[in-house]
Structure 1
Amino acid sequence: MRKQKPVKDSFVIMTELVLPNDTNTLNNLMGGRMMHLMDIAAAISAQRHSNRIVVTASVDNVSFQAGIKLGSVITLQAQVTRAFSSSMEVHIEAWSEDVPNGTKFKSNEAFFTFVAVDQSGRPIDVPEAVPETENEVNLYEGALRRRQLRLVLAGRLHPRDANELKALFELE
């Protein structure tokens, strides 16, 4: 039996200030910089869950809600949603805050997949993720469908074998 670990143990909060070097010519945070920050926060979350070195395997669609201005404070929150044998799905949200104006909005949300590896770079088993709150359970339950969709899109799983996805499209 695999070791179990509550998903709350993987929770990460990371805060950054948008500085001039982080912005484009419109004084908005560069998208690549946001992706970099999201990858770091999500990797820390996966490491906390697995207690292993992790590598990024995939990133789901990352959409940008609105420009994040120079001087804004970015808060990233990441947490493992589910662990498979050696891979972990991590949900991450990014919030932008204009402190002087007292405004805050969710700027980004995505799912990252990480694989835990040993010192030689070979995949290694990770603990099972145990959800406890209603939100954690909802993310956990959707993780298998998201995983199957990623595998189908990557050509690593034939659509006919994606049982969780087929259930979404079966008509009665």
Structure 2
Amino acid sequence: MEENLPASISRTIQTKLVLPPDTNHLGTIFGGTILSYIDEIAAITAMKHSKEVVVTASIDTVNFLSSAKVGDILHLEGVVISTGRTSMEVYVKVECQNLKSRKKTVTTTAILTMVAVDLNGKPTPVNGVIPESEEEKALFQHAQARKERRLKINELSKECGL
């Protein structure tokens, strides 16, 4: 197992075009389509960090801040922001760019937990991460609080029989 890795090792960027089948009757992109894109980039990001296959353990937060319309360009960026023994938190930011004006707007942010698994589907250890940007450092500082919140939610779900 290697030492802690810089966050930039995992940084992943994708670009998508919003097409008519991706949109609802208002001409804005379906939230489910955005979630699919987010899950895909989070998986790729976590695989780049861990060099292992990963599964999605949770989608902790998704903030839909604004919408994207047909013809807009989506820029998705993912980066590993913290790690556990076998898990990685991935931050994903989605920006929408209007083709004509070139104006960019953040449409969605999300934090997902991905778990590295071996060929038998068993969790496998991952390297730690070294945050580099100010945004990564701020997200890294609050990782323990997010983990504690996830554990409380899991406990409550079990108590409620979910």
TM-score, normalised relative to structure 2: 0.91
Task: Give the structure 1 partner of residue 131 of structure 2.
Answer: 131
Describe the SS at the equivalent of 1:125. Answer: coil
Measured in 2, the distance between the counterparts of 1:44 and 1:133 equals: 20
Query: How far, CA to CA, are the matches of 1:132 and 1:64 in structure 2?
Result: 26
Runs of 4+ in 1 over 6 A off after TM superposition: none
CA-based RMSD: 1.4
Whole-angstrom distance in 1 between the partners of 2:38 and 2:130 = 23
Unaligned runs of 5+ in 1: 157-172
Largest Rg, 1 or 2: 1
**Contact 2:61/2:112, CA 8 A, preserved across alignment:** no
TM-superposition CA deviations, 1:52-81 (whole Å, max 9, x none): 000000002312222210110000111000
Percent of aligned pairs sharing the same letter:
37
Q: Indicate the SS of the match to 1:63.
A: strand
Q: Distance in 1 between matches of 2:108 and 2:97?
A: 13
- Aligned pair 1:36/2:36, yes or no? yes
* Displacement after TM superposition at 1:109 (Å): 0.5
* Structure-1 separation of matches of 2:97 and 2:74: 6
Within a 5 Å distance, the mapping from 1:98-109 to structure 2 comes to 98-109=98-109
Query: 2:6 maps to which residue?
Result: 6
Structure 2, unaligned runs of 5 or more = 157-162
Listed as ranges, the matches of 1:125-164 within 5 Å are: 125-155=125-155
Q: CA deviation at 1:2?
A: 5.9
Length-normalised TM-score, structure 1: 0.86
Letter in 2 for 1:152: K
- 1:102/1:134 Cα in 2 relative to 1: closer, same or farther (>3 Å)? closer
Q: Distance in 1 between matches of 2:133 and 2:33?
A: 31
Q: Return the offset for 1:132.
A: 2.9
Write the distance in 2 (CA, Å) between the matches of 1:108 and 1:115: 22
Cα distance, 1:44 vs. partner?
0.7
One-letter code aligned to 2:110 = A
Residues 2 and 84 from structure 1, CA distance in 2 versus in 1: closer, same or farther, beyond 3 angstroms? farther
> Deviations along 1:30-64, whole A, 9 cap, x unmatched?
11000000111111110000000000000023122
